[in-house]
Amino acid sequence: MKITSTAEGTTTTLALEGWLDSATAPEFGAALAAIDSSCEELIIDLSALEYISSAGLRQLVVAYKQMKGHLTICNTTAEVMQVFKVAGFDKRLRIV
């Protein structure tokens, strides 16, 4: 998986590419831990994410809690959105 981090003011964007599964979830967790404490809004761009497993979903919950709800998921592929719907994430997370 490739993670690109961009910070602009108090907003950080993480763009994920590839698969977010049990093998790559720790890498995503490290990227979340590296976010500057001045970050007030986290945007996770999933336009290039091909697959997400339960381990990836857990990391999104960690991100949501870390940001105290100031999390936006954007550009979700149809496949990933289907997983979000099955897991009920479409009702809990802000997905645009």
Q: What is the model's pTM?
A: 0.94
**What ranges do the domains of the chain cover?**
2-95
* pLDDT given at position 22: 96
pLDDT at 87 over 90: yes
The DSSP 8-state label assigned to residue 38 in this structure reads T
Q: What are phi and psi of 34, to 5 degrees?
A: -85, -5
CATH topology of domain 2-95: Transcription Regulator spoIIAA (3.30.750)
Q: How far apart are CA 13 and CA 11, in angstroms?
A: 7
pLDDT band at 83 (very low <50, low <70, confident <90, very high): very high
* pLDDT given at position 69: 82
- Per residue in 51-71, pLDDT (tens digit) is 999 999 999 999 999 999 899
Residue positions counted in the chain = 96
